[in-house]
Amino acid sequence: MTLLDEFQLFLKTLGWPDWAYYSVPALTGIVIIVAAVLTIVIVFIWWERRLLGRFQIRLGPNRCGPEGIFQPIATAVKILLKEDIVPAKADKVVHFIAPIAVFVPVLMVFAVIPFDKAAILVDLNVGAIYIIAISSLSMLAIFMAAWASCNKYSLIAGLRAIAQMVSYELPVVMSLVGVAMMASSLSMVKIVEAQTLPFILLQPLGCLIFFLGSLAEMNRCPFDLLEADSEIVAGYHTEYSGMKFALFYLGEYGVAFVYAAVITTLFLSGWQGPFLPPVLWFLIKVFLVFTLILWMRATLPRLRVDQLMTFAWKFMLPMSLINLIVVAIEILLVPASLQWVMIVINFGLAAVLILLFSRMFTFGGGRVEV
Amino acid sequence: MKFEHYGLGIAKGMALTFEHLFRKPITVQYPEEKLHTSKRIRGNELVWFPDKCTGCGTCTKACPQGNILLVTHRSEPNRFIVDKFECDTGRCIFCGLCVESCPYNALAMGLKYECAKYRRGDFILNKEKLTASENHRPSAYFRPQFDADLPAQSLLLYDREEGGQKLKFLPLSTRKRGPGA
Amino acid sequence: MVAINSEELGKRIAEVFTGSVVSADKEMLVVDSVHLFQVATYLKETPGLDFDYLTVVTAADYMEYFEMIYRMVSLKQNHSLILKTRLYSRDNPTVASLTPLWRAAYYQEREIFDLFGIKFEGHPDLRRLLLWEGFNGHPLRRDYL
Amino acid sequence: MSVKTEPFYLNIGPQHPSTHGVLRLRVTLDGEVIVDVEPVIGYLHRGIEKLAEGRTYAQNIPFTDRLDYLAAMTNNVAYCMAVEKLAGIKVPERGEYLRVIFSELMRIASHLMAVGFFLNDIGAMMTPVLYMWREREKILDMFEMACGQRMMYNYMRIGGMSQDVPEEFLPAVKKFIAEMPRYIDEYDQLLAQNEILLARSKGVGILPRETAVSIGASGPVLRASGVKWDLRKMDPYSIYDRFDFEVPTGQTGDCYDRYWVRMQEMRQSVRIVEQALKQLPGKGSVCADVPQFFRAPKGEAYVCIEAPKGNLGFYVVSDGSIAPYRLHIYPPTLINITAMKDMAVGWKIADLIIIFGSIDVVLGEIDR
């Protein structure tokens, strides 16, 4: 029983007509989710800029409001006031649709993210698949933007985007299958409920692969090739300005939030935690994941495109397959009461596999004879 | 290319950035906090001492940009009266060669460094604007006689994180527009 | 690094290429512009001289003639030489390009072509370097105003 | 089976985040692979060589600041040394030592910028740049203390330097030199062993020894290719023969070697400054007596020094007047970018950027 179901029942008891009985709760939920997501995304932006500043021994924005908390709002106002420039040779319709198409899937994913046991818009029984399906849509929108801009830098970014998506979707899905097997459900709520021990302990390797894969999916360092500012200027949003750029910007942080939330749900036991209210636990975990992403961004350089591909196909895909097989065997053999055995085995296995693969693995490519 | 160090290289770097979280930021928040500039700063606007100037024109000859305009007329047999002394600080490159060349210590570099103006014409400074005054103080560049009056430079080297010598800030009361530093 | 004794070197070169050396003193060796490429090849390839490293290539306009200045260094022998040649034509000064021998001359010769209008025969890609195509005149000539 | 592909032309620059100025690279691409690359320069051409012909010897010193604006002090030194050689002026002992101290500090500052932006080009999101700027800022502070400005120093004069350093300068340098090795260790800790950096830069953009010599490359680019050629050792100008230091050389000549050579050179510069501080004469003049509008005797002089980016040469011709008849500047980075095509062809766009960053160009110097 989610909160929305209860709301529906409540309306039913009031004797509302059928259309209102369905649409009013749904709309209310959507409005709440959108507002919450936008607020959190704005806080993310602030957090990223402040923390990145501190990593780089500077202060970060601190002028607007206490500790600069209103800086994203000031940025938003600035962006809204900017001129909207469309390149002369751009495919105007696609150029217009692309930013919207980036942002909508991000919001759609939040339909199945459980902020709390009951605070979920709809508890789909195929929630995990829904997330994977919807979140890859925004890559398509990125390619739309890249193509429509009629800019060579954008085009390169678009091609990189497609290649990156195709490569990294596989290990991500594979590691997600491991989680689904262990929870024996695809529903996000059930997956959280199955985690009496967080799955990060039971499947460290799967978690690592999912984390790295999602870094690539959300274009974060060290896989931020789509907007590698030192190489291809701003990548797919080179030719965007004003509100359209703002949508890309929001979409980028939205995706970061999505994946942080999904990692929290799948591996960090979601809303579960002692003492504090569940929603707070959820948000704390999301922030921790996001901070880790930030920390990597503050330190690491970026990979080259062929190295990125090699990393996905030669390193992460085999590892995720091994992880899947090992998890499957363990589920069959290890009784539920002996979970600590699984933890020990899995951590040992992860360490051995990573060391082994580190030795065997070579970052692909190199010079091409032309 | 392999993972030569089993990912330890990445871990080391991440540890260093994490350590930097706890160091004090080096940012100086400019309009509120102003560091004392060097005593020898070649700041904005020349400072001219009309009583010392003989109108010899060495400074105009020394200027690589040909930026100083000096018009004089002869009053007594060996004396020039300066009619016009103008400097276009918009084209000035602040090399200090004019100050260096002045044989009578009649010219010094200014202490100001905030030089934004609304019009290009405002950059051309005439005699009155160049004359030394309370608001228009000379720096010690090539004029060591002013050295003692100026505050010591605040060096980033003696920074906050070591707790040694503190950065010297201008008191907030002098934050009004006016003489720099 | 020592400057090679260009007086002696001048005598040596005058023996190999007769009529090539215009003057040779302690500091520099001035050769005929016709023989420049041969002399440069000799300097680069003769064992003992081994000038494998060309540093500065520039020109100077002395109104009656253009002077091309080459300074070459031998990384093996650790000695250096200033080689000069003079071009007496003002309308169409031409000299052999040294880019086939030392690629270091590539950009510098383009720059001289740009700023002095000296043509280099055998340069693979002789275009203006710093100024744009269609710029009128050659600014570093003394008569350019 | 072969796929027929069409070349794809891309203009990188003049407005591009990582062209370090206003350089334009005309790149032909096959997918992401570089088939051809041609630098197009001249966007910052100010005609300093022509301007110099109309200005006195002293007035040209501020213009040399504007060549390689990240290492302005060494430009000053090189120009002044050329004029001193022309006129046969001897610089006082203390002046020579201070020149060495300033040039080596400048080398550290310039390399900090070079390495920082090289890492930034690889994608390390400003962090190394900001860490390195912290130390560069300290150096610039000290320069400001001595000469009044942070970038356009105009400090060296023909015959020495414009004025003696203030008394708080030497303690500051001592403190800086004492703590600098620790900071260099920190930079090493930050990224030197980072697997991503190694993957991106090792073996990338190899400049073989023969090509490096043939194109006349100099500075860290030449030394990374394994040629032990440092004018401070090979042709000890000024008083460099009095100091004990090593010339770091790379083996393969790839981007990582160029990075590594710069890091090592910073350590060596610290050593040189340490020794110079010990040997520095306590009191004495810093500048020979040279009149302001002095006339150099007729003749010509060429001086080449080891600037942070390579061999920086000044060729001065005098006709006996107060202005040089001809001033030629031999810019190291213009020569070094000749190698762009050799290094970049066959690599990808991302590599092009870091190869370019590893050469460490400053457009003020290339275009003059």
Is residue B130 in a domain?
Answer: yes
CB contact under 8 A, D213 and C131: no
Q: Does D26 touch chain A (CB under 8 A)?
A: no
Q: What is the pLDDT of residue A144?
A: 87
Residue B176 has pLDDT above 50, yes or no: no
Q: Which of C71, C102, C130 is opposite residue D367, by nearest beta carbon?
A: C130
The CATH number of the domain holding residue B100 is 3.30.70.3270
Does residue A308 contact residue A164 with C-beta atoms inside 8 Å?
A: yes
Query: Which range, A14-18, A164-168, B40-44, C56-60, is most confident?
Result: C56-60
Give the model's pLDDT for residue B86: 86
Tell me what pLDDT residue D320 has.
Answer: 84
* pLDDT(B92) > 80: yes
Q: What residues contact A301, with CB distance under 8 A and at least 6 apart? A: A222, D119, D122, D123, D124, D191, D194, D196, D197, D200
What 8-state DSSP symbol labels residue B133?
A: B
What average pLDDT does chain A have?
Answer: 83
Task: Find, among B117, B118, B135, the residue nearest to B174 by Cα.
Answer: B135
pTM of structure: 0.87
Cα distances from D51 to residues B89, D47, D48, D63, D64, in angstroms, run 20, 6, 5, 9, 11
Per domain, the residue ranges of chain D are 8-367
Report pLDDT for D171: 84
Q: Cβ of A304 and D351 within 8 Å?
A: yes
Report how far residue C32's alpha carbon sits from residue C28's, in angstroms, rounded to the nearest whole number.
13
Q: Is pLDDT of B171 > 80? A: no
Query: Cα B110 vs. chain centroid, distance in angstroms?
Result: 6
In this predicted structure, the answer to whether residue D243 has a pLDDT above a threshold of 80 is: yes
pLDDT over threshold 60, residue B3: no
Chain A residues in contact with D183 (beta carbon < 8 A) = none
| CATH code for the structural domain at D8-367 | 1.10.645.10
Q: Chain A within 8 Å of D53 (Cβ-Cβ)?
A: no
Q: Is C121 left (phi over 0), alpha (psi -120 to 50) or beta?
A: beta
Nearest to B36 by CA among B133, B130, B174: B174
Q: Any idea how long chain A is?
A: 370
Contacting chains of C (3 CB pairs or more, <8 Å) are D
Q: Is the pLDDT of residue A21 over 80?
A: no
CATH 3.40.50.300 fits C2-121, yes or no: no
Per-residue tokens: C52: 């494998």
Q: Which letter, b or e, does each residue of A103-141 get, where b requires 16 or more Cβ atoms within 10 Å of its Cβ?
A: bbbbbbbbbbbbbbbbbbbebbeebbebbbebbbbbbbb
Q: Residue D216 and residue C53: Cβ atoms within 8 Å?
A: yes
**Rounded CA gap, D3 and A336, in Å?**
54
Task: Round to whole Å and give the CA distance between A212 and A320.
Answer: 12
Q: Other C-beta atoms within 10 Å of D148: how many? A: 28
Q: Which of B86-100, C5-19, D197-211 has the lowest mean pLDDT?
A: C5-19
User: Cβ distance A167 to A308 under 8 Å?
Assistant: yes
Q: Is D29 left (phi over 0), alpha (psi -120 to 50) or beta?
A: beta
Per DSSP, B169 falls in state: B
Q: Does any CB of chain D come closer than 8 Å to the CB of residue B101?
A: yes
- The answer to whether D161 and D95 are in contact (CB under 8 A) is yes
- Going by pLDDT thresholds of 50, 70 and 90, the confidence category of residue D149 is confident
Domain that holds residue B69: 43-150
Decide if B3 and A361 are in contact by the 8 Å CB cutoff. Answer: yes
Type and span of the H or E element at B157: none
Rounded to whole angstroms, the Cα distance separating B155 from D106 reads 17
What is the structure's pLDDT at B173?
40
- Chain B residues whose C-beta is within 8 A of a chain A C-beta are 1-3, 6-7, 10, 13-14, 16-18, 20-21, 23-27, 29
Chains C and B touch (3+ CB pairs under 8 A): no
The pLDDT of residue A1 is 63
Candidate from A90-104, A129-143, B143-157 with smallest mean pLDDT: B143-157
Residue D131 CA to residue D115 CA, distance in Å, equals 11
D162 vs A219: CA distance, rounded Å? 53
| 152-181 in chain B: CB under 8 A from chain D | 152-153, 155-158
- What's the rounded mean pLDDT across residues B54-77? 84
Q: Is A296 exposed, middle or buried (0-12, 13-18, 19+ CB in 10 A)?
A: buried
Distance of alpha carbon D74 from alpha carbon D304, whole angstroms: 11
Query: Chain C partners of D338 at a C-beta cutoff of 8 Å?
Result: 103-104, 106-107
Q: Which residue of D has its CA nearest to A223?
A: D123
pLDDT of res. B4: 59
* Mutation site, D38, D223, D335, D368, interface C, largest C CB count within 10 A: D335
In chain C, which among 73-102 make CB contacts under 8 A with chain D? 75, 78, 80, 82, 102
Q: What is the mean pLDDT of residues D282-308?
A: 83
Give domain status of residue B159, yes or no: no
- Which of D50, D141, D186 has the highest number of chain B CBs within 10 A, making it the mutation to test binding with B? D141
Average pLDDT over residues A169-194: 85
Q: How far apart are CA A131 and CA A191, in angstroms?
A: 14
DSSP assignment of A27-70 equals HHHHHHHHHHHHHHHHHHHHHHHHHHHHHTTS----SSSGGGTT
Backbone φ and ψ of B135, nearest 5°: -85, 0
Q: Which of D45, D325, D335 sits opposite C104 (nearest CB)?
A: D335
Beta-strand pair D310-318/D324-330: antiparallel
pLDDT at residue A365 in the model: 63
Which residues lie across from A354 on neighbouring strands?
none
Whether A14 shows a pLDDT value over 50: the answer reads yes
How many domains are there within chain B? 1
pLDDT above 80 (res A128): yes
Q: What's the ipTM?
A: 0.84
User: Which residue carries 């012909």 as its tokens?
Assistant: D53
Q: Which is more confident, A11 or B72?
A: B72
Has residue B179 got a pLDDT over 50? Answer: no
The amino acid at A119: A
Of C112 and A276, the structure prediction assigns the larger pLDDT to C112
> Which one, of D229, D253, D203, D244, lies nearest residue D306 by Cα?
D229
Whether the ω angle into residue C124 lies within 30 degrees of 0, i.e. cis, is no
* Type of residue at B117: K
Spatial separation of the C-alpha atoms in residues A141 and A137, rounded to whole Å: 7
Contact by Cβ (8 Å): B111, B73: no
On chain B, the residues whose CB falls within 8 A of the CB of D134 are 26, 156
DSSP D22-54: T-EEEEEEETTEEEEEEEE--TT---HHHHHTT
Report which of A167, A137, A135, A141 is spatially closest to residue A262, judged by C-alpha positions. A135
Q: How confident is the model at residue B1 (pLDDT cuts 50, 70, 90)?
A: very low
Are B17 and A53 inside 8 Å of each other by CB?
no
